[in-house]
Each structure stands twice: as C-alpha cells, then as structure tokens.
Amino acid sequence: MLSTAVSKYELETRSRTNSIQSKVALVLHSVATSNKKQQVITMHNIDDNQLSKGKVINSKQVTRMVSGKGGYFDRAQSAKPLCSSLIDERVIAENDNDVVFYTPPSKRTLWYSTTKNTNFSILSPGLFFHFKKSTKSIRVFCYLNRKKPKLDTMLYLPPMLNIDRKGSLCTGTMRLPKTWSNAGIDLIISNFFDSRFTHSNMKTASGIPTIYTDDEANMAYMAALEESERKMKAGELVEFKTIAAYLENADD
C-alpha cells in the first residue's frame, strides 16, 4: 500500500573470512513535529549497495526481525504497509500510485460561478486530499480540529460544490501535477481554491442536507459563514469515515 521514501545511501559490507551480503537495512530517524521530537524506524531493501525506498516499521517488528522469526524478511519485503511519510509533514501516506495529504484550517476565498460569478471569504476547515498519480483524480474531505489530523480524526464531506458523496472532485480545468513531487501538494491546494465552484454533484443524494444538494442553499450557507466569520460545525456536515478507516479501504 503506502510507503515512505528517503535519500539513498551507498553501503559496503566486507568481512575478512566470510562473504556477507546485506539485504535489508534499518534506519533510525529523529522527526521533529510542532509539539515534540519522535523517533521513527524505516526498513530498506539494499539493491546494488544502495538503500531503496523505505517502509516505516514499529519496535515489535524490529524485535521479530532480530529474533530470527522464519520468513519475516520475505514477507516484509513483499508487504507494502500504509505508513506516515518523512518527506513532507503534510503527507499522511503514500505509495507508487497514491498520495494522501492535508492542509490545515485557514481563511480562504471560494470562487463561485453558478447563476452568477461571486466569491466567499470563509474560515475553511482543514482539508484532506487523496491524489491518484496515474489517473490524476482527487478525493477531498474536511476535518474540524485545528491540530494535525490523526488516524482517529473524523472526515466529513466538504459542503462545497463540485464534490460528490464519495469525496470525488470534478477537477474541470484545474492544473494537476504531470509527475509527482512535493511541489504537487501546493499545486493541488492552490488550484483547488483558485478554481471555480460551479455545480452540486449531490443533487440526487437522499438524506443529505440542502447545503450539499442545492446550489442556492449552498451559496446562502457560504454567505452566512462569511458574514458571521464563524467556523463550520459538525452538526451541519455529513460524517464520512475516520482517517484510519478511509486508509484501510481508500479505493472504495
């Protein structure tokens, strides 16, 4: 599934009496967050004396490895666990085809082109993006706390036009990364907010509040948020899944 990537290091292992071939390396990282420092262990296959992309593992997995549990390395090398990234602190998980990242709450301007062109400056909740690198498709959800989202953070359907009941975004003319790099995060976020919100993608959804299903109701809701300068409330929004539940079945 989703794995980390770190810099490559050249390795050389020699022995005077025996031929030793190194297959796997463990790297201990010190990761600084906004509140504290923590240590993260990544496991890397060694190919041509260089470290490959790493996968985050925990201390129990390390214990199993050094205790000689049979077949662990083969299973570990074939597994592709979902794990946190060390590249950009906004990246929650990543693999060869998917990247999941977030942007924190902030004041944003939404540009609308429905019956008329207008815009709303609101206190946007934090947004959670899932970008598929091969198909260039995007799913978007929101969360309501100000801190960095955790695995138990609840995701909600954003009450914004152009997004359907599974979070899929109609990208329209948005500029999207041709090849993935960290710069793709800022490109997607800026183009999301700079794009035009033109239509509801939930018009036929039953049991969904009208702020999702009706363009005029949505615009009235955004206008009220702008005038009152208040945040969105959980009671107004439709719950989707926790981040942990989403990452377990991200293709559903």
Question: SS in 3 state form for 137-173?
Answer: EEEEEEECCCCCCCCCCEEEECCCCCECCCCEECCCC
Q: What is the mean pLDDT of residues 217-242?
A: 96
The more confidently predicted of residues 19 and 139 is 139
Given this model, what pLDDT does residue 78 score? 45
Please state the domain extents for the chain.
1-84, 91-248
pLDDT, tens digit, for every residue of 65-122?
Answer: 655 554 544 444 444 444 444 568 899 998 889 999 999 999 999 999 988 899 999 9
Given this model, what pLDDT does residue 31 score? 55
The more confidently predicted of residues 73 and 239 is 239
CA angle 155, 159, 162 (to 5 degrees): 105
- Confirm if 86 and 31 have CB atoms less than 8 A apart: yes
Q: What is the mean pLDDT of residues 239-244?
A: 95
Given this model, what pLDDT does residue 204 score? 76
- Say if strands 196-197 and 106-113 run parallel, antiparallel, or are unpaired: parallel
Indicate whether this model's pTM tops 0.75: no
